[in-house]
Amino acid sequence: MRASRTENGSIKGTVTLEGGDVSPLVGHHVEGVLEGNPSVLASGVIQKDGVFALESLLEGKVLKEAMPGKYNARIVLSDDVDDNGKRLPRPPLSKSFLKAAASGLSFEVSETSSDVQLSLTTRAK
């Protein structure tokens, strides 16, 4: 996953998946937990090209940005349904990517955030 700051201050990123096909991740979320303050979360929905935009919930308000700091990241599986009313399929990920503490994924947000690359691997068959 790569994350970078856009001109309007929001953080956008890209998820990559082993093998290159990110379609199994579409509709699921990237979520970051701020180190030192687990009540601060930043999340974004993964789009068909793997791109997501992070938003934060702070004091009941949705912000189109992420608070500065280092985040431990994970993938959050969606309970949403597709156009046919079927629940989105579970992506072929290692279960470790579903827990921020075990995923090994992280990103940092600052005024000068640069691209960060975090790659996801498929689960063992």
Each residue's pLDDT tens digit, 36-94: 988 889 899 999 988 888 888 777 788 888 888 899 999 999 887 777 888 878 888 88
Instruction: Give the closest residue to 68 by CA, choosing from 79, 48, 54.
Output: 54
Q: What is the mean pLDDT of the chain?
A: 80
Query: What is the structure's pLDDT at 124?
Result: 45
C-alpha 38/C-alpha 112 separation (Å) is: 23
Residue 107 has pLDDT above 70, yes or no: yes
Query: What is the structure's pLDDT at 116?
Result: 47
| DSSP 8-state class, residue 91 | P
